[in-house]
Amino acid sequence: MSQLWWYIGIATCVKLLLIPSYHSTDFEVHRHWLALTRSLPLSQWYSDKTSPWTLDYPPFFAFFERFLSLFAPLVDPKIVHLHDGLNYTAPTAVYFQRATVIVSDFCLFYAVHRLGRNLGPMARNLIWILVAWSPMLVIVDHMHFQYNGFLLGLLLLSISFLMEGRDLAGGFVFAILLCFKHLFAVAAPVYFVYLLRHYCWGRGIVRGFWQLFVMGTAVLAVFAAAYGPFVYQGQIQLVLRQMFPFGRGLCHAYWAPNFWVFYILLDKVLAFMLRKLGFSIEAPMASFTGGLVGDMSPFAVLPLVTPLTTFVMVLLALSPCLIRAWNKPQRKSISRWVAYAYTCGFLFGWHVHEKASLHFVIPFAIVAVQSLEDAKHYFLLSIVSCYSLFPLLYEAQEYPIKVLLLLLHSLLMWLGFSALYGQIEPAEEAVIAKKVDGPYEARISQGSARKREFKMGSVSRIYFFGLVIVEVYGQFLHPYLLSNKLPFVPLMMISTYCAVGIMYSWIWQLRQIVGSVS
């Protein structure tokens, strides 16, 4: 237990040192929500237009902000001033809001503790390094400013319950998470199919219906607690409209490295070629680099992508996982399926934020300590995902910090995976294979005549070398070459190159699920 507190202490010290660092407009968003929930009655929370940063999270997060607002006046009363406090960034406000993120991370620490308590010492320590010391969480939460650690803690807590066979508790916590942040709903189909099959199906008609009733009642109770007050106020349509602003467009202002990067680039290339051939192609009204905000079509040649299109694509991409979860609902596979679900949502979803890569990188850390191949894939995926977040911290003083965080974490991952998998002898592998079922584990036993090593393949090494080239060009060469004419090129290069890596990750994860590697 003392070792656990060392991990927490080191992580907290790093976060405290980063308090004076850059913070984005999300800092003002959450400060305004503190003021809004403190100053206005519940009936006006989702209708207030005092600031452009209107409340667009589910009710539990609004209640969470209301709870934090009880303590804010003790530090600085102006933090919760609705009108006078707009864009208020006094040191007291910065310290208070940064502190709330640090304290809320204890939810994540508890979830990691639960996940690691039944693992061996080396795997348990590695889980702590991968999650509690994640550079992505440091960049997004403790510099850029958000509360992802707290929310991901709820997700990992839910997964830990499911892996222990406590399905009711797992489903209940996941329902709570959805009422904090609805973007986690991408994994809801996986939860539904798994819980229906594992918790309700095959237990007899009477018991099966009873367990379905119990689970449904628990989930409905959570949603009733969250949305009931707004139903009573006659505001449920307003709440849902705020939560699902489809008019924001297909892409976010900074292009998340997903499938739609290739789609839009293809549209640009086709438009350019057709103009060269003499066709009259009008430039799209919305800008690719402007975030495609609005309802106008950002495409010159290719068909318009609608929210329904992205929904269908996510569901189709999820379908192999749902089939596997129904046919073989194994507890040890739930973290893999959840990570895959969020990868699908990230790649094919509507208006995806680059920060959403946390949703699949953090759960996949649980998978990474289960096999050598998963560890190799996680090493690639986590580095690519972390690097894709670099444009969030665009000020010069933060550049050494984000580079150092990524390099240090990469070194720790390499040492941890090498220690975990480099000591497995062939005889031990055969024993491990006998303890689990499935064709993949049997193949490990038969094909492991020598001691395994943690090392990356030639393709991965080439890809990492490409990351270095992209960064060197964008950071050091582009400002002296084309920054005036084409200022968006470094962003485009990062998004496109990282999208290649994450598309590869999606295909790799899909092959593991279809091939029963769970």
Residue 20 within any structural domain of the chain? yes
Q: What is the mean pLDDT of the chain?
A: 89
The pTM of this model reads 0.91
CA distance 253 to 231: 33
Residue 147 within any structural domain of the chain? yes
Nearest-CA neighbor of 26 among 101, 83, 109?
101
Is the pLDDT reported for residue 430 higher than 80? no
Is the pLDDT reported for residue 323 higher than 90? yes
Question: To 5 degrees, how large is the angle CA 375–CA 259–CA 476?
Answer: 75
Which of 317-321, 404-408, 418-422, 445-449 shows the lowest per-residue confidence on average (mean pLDDT)? 445-449
Q: How many domains does the chain have?
A: 1
Residue 276 within any structural domain of the chain? no
CA distance 314 to 348: 6
- Mean pLDDT value across residues 273-283: 82
- Mean pLDDT value across residues 255-278: 89
Residue 178 within any structural domain of the chain? yes
pLDDT of residue 290: 39
Is the pLDDT reported for residue 39 higher than 90? yes
Q: What is the pLDDT of residues 168-200, one digit of tens each?
A: 999 999 999 999 999 999 999 999 999 999 999
Is the pLDDT reported for residue 251 higher than 90? no
- Mean pLDDT value across residues 436-443: 37
Residue 149 within any structural domain of the chain? yes
Nearest-CA neighbor of 108 among 134, 85, 143, 145?
134
Q: Report which residue type is found at 58.
A: P
pLDDT of residue 451: 54
Q: What is the pLDDT of residues 353-400, one digit of tens each?
A: 999 999 999 999 999 999 999 999 999 999 999 999 999 998 889 999
Which DSSP string do the residues of 220-282 spell out, in sequence order?
HHHHHHHHHHHHHTT-HHHHHHHH--GGG-SB-SS--SSHHHHHHHHHHHHHHHHHHTT---P
Which of 387-391, 434-438, 486-490 shows the lowest per-residue confidence on average (mean pLDDT)? 434-438
Domain holding 83, by residue range, is 2-234
Residue 476 within any structural domain of the chain? no
Residue 252 within any structural domain of the chain? no
Residue 220 within any structural domain of the chain? yes
CA distance 411 to 429: 26
Per-residue pLDDT band at 440 (split at 50, 70, 90): very low
CA distance 199 to 501: 36
